[in-house]
Amino acid sequence: MSKDTQGTPVLEARGLVKRYGKVTALDHCDFDLQPGEILAVIGDNGAGKSTLIKALSGAIQPNAGEILLEGRPVSFASPNDARAEGIETVYQTLAMSPALSIADNMFMGRELRMPGLMGQVFRKLDRKRMEDFSRQKLSELGLMTIQNINQPVETLSGGQRQGVAVARAAAFGSRVVILDEPTAALGVKESRRVLDLIQEVRARGIPIILISHNMPHVFEVADRVHIHRLGKRLCVIDPKDHTMSDAVAYMTGASVPEGVAEPA
C-alpha cells in the first residue's frame, strides 16, 4: 500500500464537466487515484459521484476536462475502451447473467476460444481453460467456499455474487478496480467478506475506487477519502485524521474543511 501522493496518479481527472440539460452533474471536478490505495468517494445524494465514476469508466463522455491514465491523456468512448486499458467497474446492478454459470459470468464478452480452427472458425469455447481460470481467480481471493464453478449465479447468495463480480473485476482490471456501493445490498457477514476481498485486491497491488454511503465501511478500509459536493471534489481527507461526523458534515455542507473556501 502506498500513501505517496507525490508520484504520478494511476488515474487522474482535471476539470471534468458533465451537463444534463440544465443540470450540471460535474462542475470542473478534479480527481486522483494513487498507486496501491483504496480511495473512497463519498458525497450526498445527487452530488455527482456516479457521474464521475461513469466518466472515469467510459460509460459517459464529459463535456469538458481531461482524464489521465498513468499521466497519459485518455479518452474513453465506451466502457470497452476503459476495460481495454485495465479499468474494471462493478456497478451496483452487478451486470451478471443469473442463469449462466460462475465461469461463464467471469468471462462475459471475453470468452476464451479453443486454439486453432475449432476456436477461430467454429468459435468453440475453451470451457476447460475458462473454468480453470475462474477457479484460480476465486481461490486467489479466498472465495472457494463456492464449490462448483458451473453453478448458476442465481443460486449464489448476495455476498457470493458480489464476490464473483469483484473477482472478475480484479482478474481483468489490471490497473484500476471501481466498486459502486458493493455492500449496499448485503448483510453484516456478507459485507465483512466483501470488505476483506477489497483489501485482498489492494494487497495484490491494484488500486480501488470505492463509492459508498456506508461510513463505517469507508473508514475501515479507505486510505484516503474523496469528498464530493455539488459536482466537484471538495477535499480529500485521511480517515485517520478525521471522524465520520467530520466527513458527513463536510459532505452535507454543515461545516467546511480547513483550507477550503466556502462554496459561493
- Report DSSP letters for 190-231, one per residue: HHHHHHHHHHHHHHTT--EEEE-S-HHHHHHH-SEEEEEETT
What is the smallest separation between the CB atom of 23 and ligand ATP, expressed in angstroms? 5
How far from 70 is each of 13, 76, 86, 226, 251, CA to CA, in Å? 11, 15, 12, 19, 28
For position 36 contacting ligand ATP by CB under 6 A, the verdict is no
- Of the pair 76, 107, the CB lying nearest ligand ATP is at 76
Least distance CB 147 / ligand ATP (angstroms) = 35
* 41 is a site residue for ligand ATP (CB under 6 A): no
Binding ligand ATP by CB under 6 A: which of 9, 36, 43, 163? 43
Distance CA(75)–CA(61), nearest Å, equals 8
- Does residue 45 bind ligand ATP (CB under 6 A)? yes
- Contact status: 46 vs ligand ATP (CB under 6 A): yes
Among 2, 5, 20, 255, binds ligand ATP (CB under 6 A): 20
Q: Where does residue 53 fall: left (phi above 0), alpha (psi -120 to 50 degrees), or beta otherwise?
A: alpha
- Which one among 33, 38, 42, 47 touches ligand ATP, defined by CB under 6 A? 47
User: Does residue 239 interact with ligand ATP by CB under 6 A?
Assistant: no
Nearer to ligand ATP, 34 or 50 (CB): 50
How many Cβ atoms from other residues are within 10 Å of residue 115's Cβ?
A: 11
* 48 in contact with ligand ATP (CB under 6 A): yes
Contact set for ligand ATP, span 50-69 (CB under 6 A): 50-51
Q: Is 205 in the site for ligand ATP (CB under 6 A)?
A: no
Is 254 within 8 Å of 261 (Cβ atoms)? no
How many C-beta atoms lie closer than 10 Å to residue 77's C-beta? 9
28 Rama class: left (phi>0) / alpha (psi -120 to 50) / beta: left
Binding site for ligand ATP (CB under 6 A): 20, 23, 25, 43, 45-51
